[in-house]
Each structure stands twice: as C-alpha cells, then as structure tokens.
Amino acid sequence: MTGAPLIELRSVARIYGSGDATVRALAGVDLSIEEGEFVAIMGPSGSGKSTAMNVIGCLDTPTSGEYLFQGVSVGGMTRNQRALIRRHLLGFVFQGFNLLPRTSALENVELPLIYRGMPAEARRERAMAALAVVGLKGREGHSSAALSGGQQQRVAIARAIVTDPLVLLADEPTGNLDTRTSREIMDVVEGLNRNHGITVVMVTHESDIAAYARRVIRFVDGRIESDTTSKQAA
C-alpha cells in the first residue's frame, strides 16, 4: 500500500439539474478518512451530507473533482467495478432496515453471500457468526416481522458486516428507534469499530448519536464547515 487514506475526496463537487433548477449539493469538498476511523457526518437538511455519503458509497459520482478509495481513483472505474467495491469492501446500514419480512434473520444475513456464490454451509456459518457479533445469538430462526425494531437493525448490521467490509456506511442508523434502543445500536456500531477495526462513516442529525464517533464533520451548504476530533481519539 502507498500509505494513502482509505477514503479521499479531492475538490469534489456534485451538481444536479441545470439553469434555474441547478442544485449544488457539494461545492468542492476535500476530505480524508483513514482506515479504522469512526466518523460522524452532520448538517441540516440539504447540507450535502447524504450526497457525500452516496459518493463515498459509490452510489453516485462527482460532477467534478476526484474520489479515491485505497488510493485508486473511483472516477476512472466502470459501473461494474464500482459495484464490486460496494459488494466486497463496503457495508450499508440505513434508517429503514430493508429486511425481507417473512424471511428469517439468518436468511436475511446470508443474502450478500448468496450473491457471491458462497456454498450453503459456509454461508450459514458466516451468517451465524455475524448475528452473534451483534448480540442475536439464539434469534437466527426468527422472521424479521417477529423482531423488535432494535433487533431488526441488528440483523441489518449483521447483514452489512457478514462480507467483512473495510467500511461500514450508516445513514441515520437510529432514526427509527427510541432513545434506549438507539444507545444499544450505537454500542454495537462502536464495538465493530473498536474491536473489529471496521472503519465507520455515519450520517446523523442527532448530536448524542454523533458523540459516539471520534471525529465529527459538519456540512453546511455543500461545504465542510467544521471537522473536529474528540479527546478520546488519541
């Protein structure tokens, strides 16, 4: 490796529409995230935080500027190459759990491994291990409809980490949960970062949730307004 940051945005702009309908979602953003960091991205609605997350997650591409992942320019990649990054190196967790409702927790977690063509026995073993990591050992056979909101989000996190991603991208992961359950979920996410070395990039509008991160980046009007590191990050 070259020692390059895991994630790097160089003067990234993202513009939607044209003429009077032009929206400048990102206006020349420079950002570096090192492997093993836990970063929270904050900002008001329309600040660019979700657009930045979509660029980092290879779900969107910059209008100008450059996005590098592990020192390699993503802009020069084909659609299929970007899909391979998403499938093999990134894990996604959303506000909505996006689980198959009549399918067991185990089967939901196995899904990304099915796409990889992994044999059934190996799939089951990996999925069981991922569910144990998020505290759902013994709940493998429950359908997602039979689980609480917090448990459903744990299944979604297990599904995101079952492929051993380098980066967990979490978009408002506690948005649909009560305060106590939100703390439980954030303890899980923090543990993945601390104990398993997974880089976490999380979008949130809640200060108490952002406080779990060791670095907080605040977006305003498509630009980074502040980038602060907490004292415990040393």
- The pLDDT score that the predictor gives to residue 233 is 45
Q: List, for residues 17-43, the tens digit of each pLDDT value.
A: 888 888 989 999 999 999 999 999 999
Query: What is the CB-side half-sphere exposure of residue 220 using CA atoms within 13 A?
Result: 4
Task: Please state, for a pLDDT cut of 70, what percent of the chain lies above it.
Answer: 97
Q: To 10 degrees, the CA torsion angle through 192, 198, 199, 204?
A: -30
Q: Could you tell me the fold of the domain covering 7-233?
A: Rossmann fold (3.40.50)
How many CB atoms lie under 10 A from the CB of residue 88? Answer: 13
Token match 């969107």: residue? 60
Task: Please state, for a pLDDT cut of 90, what percent of the chain lies above it.
Answer: 83
Question: pTM of the full predicted structure?
Answer: 0.92
Q: Where are the domains of the chain?
A: 7-233
Model confidence at 234, in pLDDT bands (50, 70, 90)?
Answer: very low
Q: List, for residues 41-60, the tens digit of each pLDDT value.
A: 999 989 999 999 999 999 99
How far are the Cα atoms of 9, 77, 174, 233 from residue 96, in angstroms, in the given order?
27, 29, 9, 30
